[in-house]
Structure 1
Amino acid sequence: MLKKPENKTRKRLRITQCVLFLAQILFCTFTFVQIPNPDPKKLGFYATVFDMFGYLGGQFPDAAQSEAFSSVLPLFFVFLVIPIVGFFFCALDKERNLKNIVSIICSLLGVFSILTIVSINFISYGSLLALLFYLLISFITAFAMMARLTD
């Protein structure tokens, strides 16, 4: 990739991408998964990404939830890895277009992983905010690619 010195507009867009990827890491502390309990007398199960890491070796509060999430529990590390990779590429790559390509790939992988791992039935407000911010990151990245073409 050709190295091109960063101007003021591209620097602002790159910093915006970095802040949005940091917000994605913050959204992992919000409730990502919402599972209603079949018994109307009991509350549902709400978990963050870090709570799901806690259930890797243990049991869920309900046996049906344990069966439903036992196969996808090891995949929850993806929700932390994707924004960390995107953040470091945007923070460290100042002159090449590689940060924009990685940012688009991270956004697509993030949306795909939320829709497949969490699934639409169990989406909570943390995962919903993450979806919206991944779309915002992809738009900012498209603007950054266009800003690189124009001087």
Structure 2
Amino acid sequence: MNKIPENKTRKRLRTAMWVFYLLEIVLCSMPYYQYSMNGKIYSNSVFDMLSALGAGNDIGLSSSEYSAINTMIPLNFIFLVIPIVGFFFCVLDRQSNKKNVVSILCCLLGVVSILTIVTINLISLGSMLALLLYILISFLTVFSIFARFSAPSDKEKAENIEKK
């Protein structure tokens, strides 16, 4: 992919994208799963679910419900890996368009993973905010793609001013 020097608009969009990816990582510590047991509502974060992977049923589920979600618990690493990959691509890729392609793929995988792993009936505040942030990041990525192809770089503007 062609490397184009970054202008102010693209830099602001890239900065906003990696800040939102950091926020996605922080949202993993908020309640992601919500379930009802004996008339009480319980909620667990991604880190709670990952800690249950090695420790057994310490998240408060009944043994039948825990055995039902035991196969889904290792998949919670996806909720951490996707924003980390998007963050590093947005921080390190300044000139090429790879960050936009990876960001669109991360947003798509993030939304699909939340809707398939968490499911609609278990969705909680953290997973709902994560869905909204993935949608926002995808819009910023589309704006970044258009800013790359439509706006001239600052270097080209300086050359045009010098010619006049």
Tell me the TM-score normalised to structure 1 length.
0.95
Which residue in the other structure is 1:110 paired with? 110
Separation of aligned partners in 2, 1:66 and 1:129: 25
Once residues 127 and 116 of structure 2 are traced to their aligned partners in structure 1, the CA distance between those partners, rounded to angstroms, is: 12
Cα RMSD of the aligned pairs, angstroms, is 0.9
Question: How far 1:11 sits from its partner (Å)?
Answer: 0.2
Q: Report what 1:74 is aligned to.
A: 74
Deviation string for 1:59-104 (max 9, x for gaps)? Answer: 1422132022101000000000000000000000000000000000
Which residues of 2 match residues 96-107 of structure 1 at below 5 A? Answer: 96-107=96-107
Partner of 2:120: 120
Return the alpha-carbon distance in structure 1 between the equivalents of residues 14 and 53 of structure 2: 36
1:53 Cα deviation from its structure 2 partner:
0.7
Partner of 1:86, secondary structure, is helix
Count of residue pairs the alignment pairs up: 148
Match in the other structure for 1:150: 150
- Once residues 112 and 146 of structure 1 are traced to their aligned partners in structure 2, the CA distance between those partners, rounded to angstroms, is 25
Gaps of 5+ in 1: none
Q: Which runs of 4+ in 1 moved over 4 A?
A: none
Match of 2:44 among 47, 53, 59: 47
CA distance in 2, matches of 1:45, 1:51: 12
2:14 alignment partner in structure 1:
14
Higher gyration radius (CA): 2
- Distance in 1 between residues matched to 2:64 and 2:90, nearest whole Å: 41
Q: Distance in 2 between matches of 1:17 and 1:65?
A: 37
Aligned-pair identity (%): 53
2:47 partner letter: F
Cα distance in 2, alignment partners of residues 121 and 110 from structure 1: 18
| TM-score normalised by length of structure 2 | 0.88
CA distance, structure 2, for counterparts of residue 106 and residue 81 of structure 1: 9
